[in-house]
Chain A
Amino acid sequence: MKYSIFSLARNARSYHERWPLAWRSPAPRPRYDAVIVGGGGHGLASAYYLAREHGIANVAVLEKGYIGGGNTGRNTTIVRSNYHLDPNAHFYELSLKLWEKLAQDLNFNVMYSARGVLNLVHSPADLDAAMRRGNAMRLNGIDAKFLTRNEIARSIPNLDCGADARFPILGGLLQPRGGTVRHDAVAWGYARAADARGVDIIQQCAVTGIRIESGAIAGVKTTQGFIATNKLALAVAGHSSHLAAMAGLKLPIESHVLQAMVSEPVKPVLDTVVTSGAVHFYISQSDKGELVMGGDLDFYNSYAQRGNLPIIEHVVSACLALFPSFGRLKLMRTWGGIMDMTMDGSPIIAKLPVKGLYMTGGWCYGGFKATPASGFCLAHTIARDEPHPLNAAFTLERFAEGRTIDEKGAGPYAWAH
Chain B
Amino acid sequence: MLLIPCPWCGPRSQIEFTYGGDATVRRPALDAPEDEWARYVYVRDNPMGPHDEWWTHSSGCRQWCVVRRDTRTHEILGSAEPSRAPGQA
Contact = CB atoms under 8 A, between A and B. Distances in A.
Interface string B45-57: 1101001010000
Given A310-B15, A415-B21, A304 B72 contact: yes
B48 A303 contact: yes
A303 B72 contact: yes
A310 B14 contact: yes
A301 B42 contact: no
B12 interface: no
A308 B2 contact: yes
B44 A250 contact: yes
B21 A414 contact: yes
B1 A301 contact: no
Interface string A218-262: 000000000000000000000101100000001111110000000
Contacts of A412: 41-42
Contacts of A250: 39, 43-45
Interface in A279-313: 299-304, 308-310
B67 to A, nearest CB: 9
A23 interface: no
Contacts of A242: 46, 48
B46 A300 contact: no
A26 B14 CA distance: 47
Interface size class of A (residues with CB under 8 A): 20 to 34
Given A303-B48, A304-B74, A343 B42 contact: yes
Given A255-B46, A301-B46, A413-B21, A310 B1 contact: yes
Interface in B60-86: 69, 71-74
A335 interface: no
A412 to B, nearest CB: 5
A399 interface: yes
B42 A399 contact: yes
Given A301-B51, A302-B71, A304-B74, A254 B34 contact: no
Contacts of A308: 1-2, 14, 74
Contact of B46 (A253, A299, A413): A253
B46 A399 contact: no
A400 interface: yes
Nearest to A253: B46
B8 interface: no
A309 B42 CA distance: 30
B31 interface: no
A301 B48 CA distance: 9
A301 B53 contact: yes
Contacts of B34: 400
A362 to B, nearest CB: 11
Given A252-B43, A415-B21, A309 B1 contact: yes
B2 A251 contact: no
A413 B41 CA distance: 9
A299 B38 CA distance: 23
Nearest to B46: A241
B1 A304 contact: no
Nearest to B75: A304
Contact of A400 (B42, B46, B53, B74): B42
B71 A304 contact: yes
B71 A255 contact: yes
Nearest to A252: B42
Given A304-B72, A413-B21, A252 B44 contact: yes
Contacts of B73: 304
A343 B40 CA distance: 12
A338 to B, nearest CB: 9
A415 B45 CA distance: 15
Contacts of A303: 48, 71-72
Contacts of B1: 308-310
A254 B48 CA distance: 10
A251 B46 CA distance: 9
20 contacts: A241-B46, A251-B44, A252-B42, A252-B43, A254-B22, A254-B46, A300-B19, A301-B21, A301-B46, A303-B71, A303-B72, A304-B74, A308-B74, A399-B41, A399-B42, A399-B43, A400-B34, A414-B21, A415-B19, A415-B21
4 smallest CB-CB distances across A and B, nearest first, come from A400-B38, A241-B46, A252-B42, A399-B42
Given A308-B2, A343-B42, 11 more contacts: A241-B45, A250-B45, A254-B22, A254-B44, A302-B74, A303-B48, A303-B71, A309-B1, A399-B42, A400-B42, A412-B41
